[in-house]
Amino acid sequence: MIAIIDYGLGNLGSIQNMIKKIGENSKIITHPEELSEAKKIILSGVGSFDTGMNNLIKRGWIEVLNKLVLNDSIPILGICLGMQLMTQSSEEGFQNGLGWISANTEKFNFDTNIYKIPHMGWNDVMFDKDSKLFNSQDFNQKFYFVHSYYIKKIDNCDVTFKTVYGEEFVSGFEYKNIAGVQFHPEKSHKYGMKLLENFINNF
Amino acid sequence: MLRPRIIPCLLINNCDLVNTKKFYFDKYIGDPINTLRIFNDKEVDEIIFLDINATKSKIGPNYDLLKDIASECFMPVTYGGGITTLNQIEKVLKLGFEKISINGRTNKNISFLYEAVKEFGSSTIIASINIKTHNRSYKVYDYINNRLLDDDMFVFLNLIENTGIGEIFVTDVDREGTLMGYNFDLINKLNNKFKIPIIFNGGANSYIDLKDAIKNDISAVSASSLFVYYGRLNAVLISYPSPIEQNVILNERNKL
């Protein structure tokens, strides 16, 4: 079973819709204790960093997630805020992040009106080598982004994906059993569907 | 490269997909779900659904229809129409919509926009603004009470931007549904004035129109008739630029 964590933030229905289209079963999980049966975990979310962390703390997710992800190596995919929560901290708030990857979340800051904030729309994702999520055969891919905060650089990852908006930033990563994407695969047509399928089958 | 978005705006009346001309009913188009499936196959950037009756009739969103729509949408989708409470927004988002469009037409709406942004975040809330030409100037049009706001368009749009909303969906009422071509005077006036994305809608008559609008600072272009009508007699046929046509349309903006 693929567990989609409901911690009170974000549009989980659309992730479930797409996984259903792929032909897999998923379940939206509201209580941490139900997570033990999960073979794969998706941590999505739209909202602010502190609200996200506070909800995870308040609802008792932190301990369970740390155990499953760090000790039991259950694959997890962070989407949008879900990926940012995996970093150490964010300029958006004061809370510490989950701290699973050595990166921080920063705010987009441009001197010109050309680059609107949020970075919203379809953009390219570049990768240096084939990985579990991306395959060079899937060319001409594009993905839907909506975000005002971003990860500038990331240390010690197996693979990082890059996107350019004003400057190059990290639009995704893979590190052991942990993966994150800044864009929304659940809203990125067949390209996103392929990525979710790759997460389900290859991770 | 961030691609400016090309967005079909689809109008719902009861459970039908319809088209309007200058905000008056023009034609029945078809079933919303079937139409959506066609747009899905064409890999549209994004879709906006507006229920043109939900505010006027005070019945609010048709959740059953919206649930069916959301389950077929593998692209970002916005809903607008009859939204007056935060609870309604939450319900529509839960169904699988990303964004909610709220019509900005009076000062009362502005305070609701503030509340909605505070609760659901900037990127979730779009302000929809209708513009009409009046004595050679542009005025904000309140379609419910069929009147123009006294305020200058820019004063009002700045108030709207300051609520923290994520985007402004501007519809040119005088050209809406007419296929007359975009009003480039209005587009030029809006160009480079805002920090947030502007989606421009109303009157597009060709892909060249879309291309010319995108040359400006407009972040997204929207159209209804252009994507649902075909030919001299406006036969109903769903269309959308192919990837090659999109590249031509977006070419001018490769600088981003």
We report the CATH number of the domain holding residue A177 as 3.40.50.880
Residues in B touching A189 (Cβ below 8 Å): 40, 43, 74-75
Q: Please confirm, yes or no, whether A119 is among the known catalytic residues.
A: no
What is the distance between the alpha carbons of residues B226 and B240, in angstroms, rounded to a whole number?
9
Q: Please confirm, yes or no, whether A184 is among the known catalytic residues.
A: yes
Of residues A106, A174, A186, A197, which has the active-site annotation?
A: A186
pLDDT over 80 (residue B196):
yes
What is the distance between the alpha carbons of residues A163 and B230, in angstroms, rounded to a whole number?
37
- Cβ(B159)–Cβ(B4) under 8 Å? no
Residues in A touching B5 (Cβ below 8 Å): 121-122
Distance from CA of B145 to the nearest CA of A (A): 33
- The closest alpha carbon to B156, from B147, B145, B168, belongs to B168
- Bond into A118 cis (ω within 30): yes
Contact B76 A140 (CB under 8 A): no
Distance from CA of A27 to the nearest CA of B (A): 15
pTM of this structure? 0.91
Phi and psi dihedrals of B243, rounded to 5? -55, -40
pLDDT per residue over B3-51, tens digit each?
899 999 999 999 999 999 999 998 999 999 999 999 999 999 999 999 9
Residues in A touching B194 (Cβ below 8 Å): 113
Partner residue opposite A118 with nearest CB, options B4, B97, B123: B123
pLDDT over 80 (residue A140):
no
Task: Say yes or no: A180 contacts chain B, CB-CB below 8 A.
Answer: no
Q: Residue A111: what pLDDT?
A: 86
Contact B70 A192 (CB under 8 A): no
Number of neighbouring beta carbons within 10 Å of residue B219? 21
pLDDT per residue over A46-70, tens digit each?
888 998 999 999 999 999 999 999 9
Partner residue opposite B70 with nearest CB, options A13, A146, A164: A13
Task: Say yes or no: A194 contacts chain B, CB-CB below 8 A.
Answer: no
Output the 3-class SS for chain A: CEEEECCCCCCHHHHHHHHHHHCCCEEEECCHHHHHHCCEEEECCCCCHHHHHHHHHHCCCHHHHHHHHHHCCCCEEEECHHHHCCCCEECCCCCECCCCCECCEEECCCCCCCCCCCEEEEECCEECCCCCCCCCCCCCCCEEEEECEEECCCECCCEEEEEEECEEEEEEEEECCEEEECCCHHHCHHHHHHHHHHHHHHC
- The closest alpha carbon to A191, from A124, A128, A131, belongs to A124
- Going by pLDDT thresholds of 50, 70 and 90, the confidence category of residue B256 is very low
pLDDT over 50 (residue B135):
yes
> Residue A172 is part of which domain span?
2-202
What is the distance between the alpha carbons of residues B143 and A82, in angstroms, rounded to a whole number?
40
Contact B97 A121 (CB under 8 A): no
What is the distance between the alpha carbons of residues A103 and A88, in angstroms, rounded to a whole number?
6
Contact B194 A164 (CB under 8 A): no
What is the distance between the alpha carbons of residues A48 and A90, in angstroms, rounded to a whole number?
10
pLDDT per residue over B154-187, tens digit each?
999 999 999 999 999 999 999 999 999 999 999 9
Token pair belonging to A32 = 């941490």
- Structural domains counted in chain A: 1
Q: Please confirm, yes or no, whether A80 is among the known catalytic residues.
A: yes
Contact B2 A14 (CB under 8 A): no
Angle between helix B63-71 and A12-22 (nearest 10): 50
Q: Is B90 helix (H, G, I), strand (E, B) or coil?
A: helix
Here the ipTM equals 0.86
- Going by pLDDT thresholds of 50, 70 and 90, the confidence category of residue B253 is low
